[in-house]
Copies of this chain bind each other. A is one copy, B any other.
């Protein structure tokens, strides 16, 4: 390797590191605003976040960066790079091309807006006052539309946003998958509604002290293998996971004293995200590949731990005694089986993050449809509360009477995260596909879970998914691990089998997804 190429690589590593440092700063400011910051911090902090984003963005699309990337992409240089560097450089070039058309000042203004909008959203939600949030959301949507025009799009405009979170995913593919899921889900819901068997959930709705719920969350996170020397658990209005740096991946939850399962499953869910981030190969640290493969793959990890493991019969054989020990007054008479049934009750409800495994995807499909129409300008922000409630009634048969229970429930839009919601359902689909292989790879899978020995499972996930970071796109990763592309049939089979047992339903074999 020539000295000149070595210098180019050194310069590239320096720029990458610097960008990561600014992102570290931004992540910490964001975490702080959501968990610890006093109200008075918001105004200046939002502007500061905007400034730091402008900084990252300016450097990302600078002529200097572009020239450097182009030099590294020259065949005689590129061929001498390590595989990791090749991928990192290619990724960065894609990112640069994607953003080069947005003026840095517009991007900074947008980021300052979303930082502010998040605290306004929290206030609007608390006060059940959509009008407070509306002007901010209108500005955010206008920014998104402006950016899509600048960035360009293939087919549907919304594809540009989808690709930000799920590289390679399109509206066309999603429409087909969601149609299949919708039909199967509604048909399953019909059967469940007419079942004579229904899990009793009253044991979950007693008074559960928040401090002891925290103990329970911490216990489970430790059992999962979440590393508290490189992370922490806090409280926020909406639970989230954030990588601040590679040695500092934090998660949050929220405690509802009247519902035992809320914080527990939020914590397990975020713990699943946290494990992914904590176990990306440290060798990728200096590159742009020390990220998840996609938001959907990220979600497959949280959903696996939360639902497929955390809501399984085997798990409650292990965890039942622990929960009873922490809440003896409330749960003395509750069997493992009763707990397992209780956390698997199917019940159309208003809040997405508390939805069951079956209705959950209907919440997502609702948001997906609204987002597509908003971005296309078919509907306006002012229409959202009404349309939200109408769709809730059509898909789930229930209608919220407060916006805080409806259109204001999620933080995402206040952060400009359009195109993100579909990845939750993709996570469910991927998780079911991965689990099929995971169970083949670990013959005593159920026995391990019954003993609370999750290490072989975590090891499998690390080896097959976590460590690769963003070395592969979702489709390639899926192919490598499962031998096929995205296929929602495994998810449908999983819920049909599980709930046929719980609700004692009769089923034909699931039809193939085509």
Contacts and interface: CB of A to CB of B under 8 A. Distances in A.
A38 to B, nearest CB: 5
A41 B228 contact: no
Given A38-B229, A40-B227, A40-B247, 17 more contacts: A21-B44, A21-B47, A21-B48, A24-B45, A25-B25, A28-B29, A32-B32, A37-B248, A38-B247, A38-B248, A39-B247, A40-B229, A41-B245, A41-B248, A44-B246, A45-B244, A45-B248
Nearest to A18: B51
A83 interface: no
A247 B41 contact: yes
B245 A45 contact: yes
Interface string A164-184: 000000000000000000000
A315 to B, nearest CB: 27
Contacts of A229: 38-40
Contacts of A52: 21, 25
A134 interface: no
A47 B245 CA distance: 11
B32 A28 contact: yes
Interface residues of A, number: 33
A14 to B, nearest CB: 10
Q: Which 9 A-B pairs have the closest CB atoms?
A: A40-B247, A40-B230, A41-B248, A44-B245, A21-B48, A21-B51, A39-B229, A25-B25, A24-B48
A231 interface: yes
Nearest to A37: B248
Contacts of A48: 21, 24-25, 245
Interface in A21-43: 21, 24-25, 28-29, 32, 36-43
Contacts of A40: 227, 229-231, 247-248
A238 interface: no
A38 B245 contact: no
A232 interface: yes
Nearest to A244: B41
Interface string A458-497: 0000000000000000000000000000000000000000
Interface in A213-252: 227-232, 244-248, 250
Contacts of A47: 21
A383 to B, nearest CB: 35
Contacts of A24: 44-45, 48
A112 to B, nearest CB: 11
Interface string A379-398: 00000000000000000000
Given A44-B245, A48-B25, A248-B45, A232 B38 contact: yes
B18 A228 contact: no
A38 B245 CA distance: 11
Nearest to A247: B40
16 contacts: A18-B51, A21-B52, A24-B44, A24-B45, A25-B25, A25-B48, A28-B28, A36-B36, A38-B229, A40-B229, A41-B230, A41-B245, A42-B247, A44-B246, A44-B247, A44-B248
Contacts of A227: 40
A458 to B, nearest CB: 18
Contact of A36 (B39, B228, B232): B232
Contacts of A245: 41, 44-45, 48
Nearest to A21: B48
A48 B28 CA distance: 12
A213 to B, nearest CB: 18
Interface string A4-22: 0000000000000010010
Nearest to A232: B38
A93 B416 CA distance: 42
A227 to B, nearest CB: 7
